[in-house]
Amino acid sequence: MSVNADLNGSIAVGLLSAPLPSRIISAITDAGGEARFVGGMVRDAVLLHDKSDHPGDIDMATTLHPDDVVRVLKGAGLRVIPTGIAHGTVTVVAPQNPPHPSPQTPGPVVELTTLREDITTDGRHAEVRFGTDWTEDARRRDFTINSMSLDHHGKLHDPFGGLADLKAGIVRFVGDAETRIREDYLRIMRFFRFYSRFGKTAPDAEAMQAITLLAEHLDRISGERMGHEMRGIMAAGHLPGLKAMMRAGVDRLIAPGGFKLDGMQALVALKGFDAPMLRLGFIIAGADRQATATRLRLSRREARQLALADDAVDAGSLEGGDWQQQAWPLLRSGEQAPEDLASRYAMSAIRQSGTVDQAAYRRLNEWHLPVMPLGGDDIRERGVPAGEGIGVILRRIEAEWAASGFQLSRDDLLKKLDDILATE
């Protein structure tokens, strides 16, 4: 089926008028081939129909063989990088001045792939052959909402009803769900990521049946790929999606004890609390955190975020007028930043009272930790020998400084120090 992409003309304006894609389309058309926008960027362009900007990632497909793509586009003065040419994919970059753009200003990039058909699959990778049939290429894509393409006339090609599914909030596989999952088991996680982003109805029954049957095969998928999908799932904060994962048993492949969603709705509603691994840490058991961090190949920062849920605080003490005095001792070691304490507060508040004081959370998140204008060197200069005694004195002065609301000046603190030393 083909439908006019006439959503206020925005798809045509935002995509077809972009300089680099226009040059690619022109060169390939002149060579007797065809190039279209494909996949997720078409899906997102439909969703962004009220904006004139095209999505940031530009994915295109073509009927030309990869070798011909390289020849034709280089002949048109474009830079062509054979990033995945064995699978038909090249990266096309507009000529720059200087010729190699900096990381700060990389310039426009298009991922261009020759139409393909899967020959064999092993659950992780596929052997493909190149083709010229747009419907067959769309048939190998995972979900109907990702199977649409947009041609250079501004016409949306939708052979599997992706537009209707997108509007209805339905995520379903192209063709038989079990077959599609067996081709690449990561599609289980991708289903939940896309359902968490676009789903408006109950999850597709056929998909859930196939996922439940095949979920155990996720152990064949690398931690990096699993982690990428899990970040997207948690960033969406979509409770129906998390519940669907639990029904299919997928949560226990992420954390042995599974997910516990008590309080998650309040946490997702908290503005600013959107770090994926903070959210994940909140819904898994403390005993599972190391196993989960290892399974998902998390960075050190993400692993620390995962563990923050175990570091409870007295939430009520951080909601009163003396919150700064209460917060400062929790941060004085410098091991955590104020935003970490804000996260600890939010999770503790939900567990202790079921709600979060948004103002208290915002204050902690935006707080610039004060630095006491007196240190150990000042104490040593007054003849106190190095050792535990300096720390004891410093903590006494810190307590008075905090009690003043951090208002005591350096001169005030030096006088306090002299008073303490005079009584020692």
In this prediction, residue 57 has a pLDDT band, given cuts at 50, 70 and 90, of: low
If one compares 324 and 249, the residue with the highest pLDDT of the two is: 249
Give, in words, the CATH class of 169-310: mainly alpha
Q: Cβ of 171: how many Cβ atoms within 10 Å?
A: 28
**Per residue in 376-396, pLDDT tens?**
888 888 888 887 788 889 888
**What CA–CA distance (Å, rounded) separates 66 from 79?**
14
**What CA–CA distance (Å, rounded) separates 27 from 90?**
15
Place of tokens 């003065």: 77
Single-letter residue type at 217:
H
- Among 184, 231, 180, residue whose Cα is nearest residue 209: 180
Place of tokens 């709600």: 355
Q: Two tokens at 284?
A: 């898994």
Provide the sign of the torsion angle of the four alpha carbons 300, 301, 302, 308, taken in this order.
positive
If one compares 51 and 212, the residue with the highest pLDDT of the two is: 212
**Per residue in 344-367, pLDDT tens?**
999 999 999 999 999 999 999 999
Mean pLDDT taken over the chain? 89
The DSSP-derived string for 165-208 is HHHHT---BSS-HHHHHHHBTTHHHHHHHHHHHH--SSPPHHHH
Q: What is the mean pLDDT of residues 36-42?
A: 91
Q: What is the pTM of this model?
A: 0.85
Q: What is the mean pLDDT of residues 289-301?
A: 96
In this prediction, residue 97 has a pLDDT band, given cuts at 50, 70 and 90, of: very low
Name the DSSP class of 59: E
Domain with CATH 1.10.3090.10 in the chain: 169-310
**What CA–CA distance (Å, rounded) separates 413 from 371?**
13
**Per residue in 134-188, pLDDT tens?**
999 999 999 999 999 999 988 999 999 999 999 999 999 999 999 999 999 999 9
Domain with CATH 3.30.460.10 in the chain: 1-168
Q: What is the mean pLDDT of residues 254-282?
A: 96
Q: Two tokens at 50?
A: 């009220």
CATH fold group of domain 1-168: Beta Polymerase; domain 2 (3.30.460)
**What CA–CA distance (Å, rounded) separates 313 from 9?**
53
348 Cβ partners below 8 Å, 6+ apart? 312, 313, 314, 315
If one compares 133 and 4, the residue with the highest pLDDT of the two is: 133
Instruction: Determine what percent of the chain is predicted with pLDDT higher than 90.
Output: 67
Q: What is the mean pLDDT of residues 120-126?
A: 61
Query: What own/partner pairs with CB < 8 Å and gap ≥ 24 does 169-172 have?
Result: 169/198, 169/199, 169/200, 169/201, 170/144, 170/199, 170/200, 170/201, 170/204, 171/143, 171/145, 171/195, 171/198, 171/199, 171/203, 171/204, 171/207, 172/143, 172/144, 172/204, 172/206, 172/207
279 close to 292: Cβ distance less than 8 angstroms: no
**What CA–CA distance (Å, rounded) separates 107 from 101?**
7
94 close to 20: Cβ distance less than 8 angstroms: yes
> Does residue 311 have a pLDDT over 60?
yes
148 close to 42: Cβ distance less than 8 angstroms: yes
pLDDT number for residue 154:
87
